[in-house]
Structure 1
């Protein structure tokens, strides 16, 4: 019996500006989606995804004793975990590298629902994760740290699709 190794894969419909793809078991959700996205040389995109995870690693927004917003420590829930909904933005950081801002809603095998902000390396695919990326064909998105806010946020600007320069 020959068993086919399932691999991450995606298809880009350039005319409609959408990427559809799937991640194989063991692939980290963020690292896998970034790898598929970077194949196509696009500027930005909005991601949505569903699937199953071997574990869920996330943080959530908290107020400290001084009423200052920050994130909780990393929380890791062991699987099986249902990825009910993941949504976020693919963009560039201030160094020009790919950045992925992703939030997710999870469910465990007891029906508990939880979620928050996730980071690369903490959310391995259990069976599969299917995703779509709506490409910002003429939109540049850059995520940078804003000292006045204390967080990284996205800034968007229109670019001319034919030459990549910022348009008026």
Structure 2
């Protein structure tokens, strides 16, 4: 049996998103340019403004919260996979205001003030997203396994 669950973790990319760029679109462009089909990332820095999402499990819709003030990006983690053949970034973020109060959620968009990204490339099988009937989300799908990847 061929092991399709192992990824090579030896390649990394570090990048700096330019002032005024959308963080999600920037990471998608990096992935497309470098032909990254699977990866994980972290980012730090600050956003000028952002839109966060919360997925309502009952209505199967994202509720959005617009943040129109500068915030420190205390934590941002995410992954890269393929959706409809193109790089797709899924990110969650925790943002802090000038009083240290935090808010977090799914990062829909974020206008960069300054950002440094550390991206780990996962070399191995394609990681693709397909529609999931139960959640109405686009989730990772692999053929015939138990929904896990790794050793």
TM range (shorter): 0.7 to 0.9
Aligned counterparts of 2:142 and 2:70: Cα–Cα separation in 1? 37
The DSSP-based 3-state class of the residue aligned with 1:36 is helix
Instruction: Give the aligned partner of residue 122 of structure 2.
Output: 136
Of 71, 96, 116, 1:81 maps to 71
8 Å CA contact 1:46, 1:88 repeated in 2: yes
Runs of 4+ in structure 1 over 4 Å off: none
Q: Where is the strand percentage greater, Structure 1 or Structure 2?
A: 2
Tell me the TM-score normalized by structure 2. 0.81
Return the offset for 1:71: 4.4
Instruction: Give the aligned partner of residue 148 of structure 2.
Output: none
Instruction: Give me the CA root mean square deviation.
Output: 2.0
C-alpha distance 139-148 of structure 1, shift in aligned 2 (>3 A): same
Instruction: Give the aligned partner of residue 46 of structure 1.
Output: 40
1:108 aligned to 2:93?
A: no
Deviation track 1:12-63 (CA, whole Å, cap 9, x = no partner) reads xxx9311111111101000111112222112210011111000121011335
Aligned counterparts of 1:29 and 1:58: Cα–Cα separation in 2? 13
Aligned counterparts of 1:73 and 1:132: Cα–Cα separation in 2? 28
Aligned counterparts of 2:53 and 2:61: Cα–Cα separation in 1? 6
Unaligned runs of 5+ in 2: 1-8, 144-151
- Greater CA radius of gyration, 1 or 2? 1
Tell me the TM-score normalized by structure 1. 0.73
Unaligned runs of 5+ in 1: 1-14, 158-168
Structure ranking higher on relative contact order (CA contacts 8 Å, 6+ apart): 2
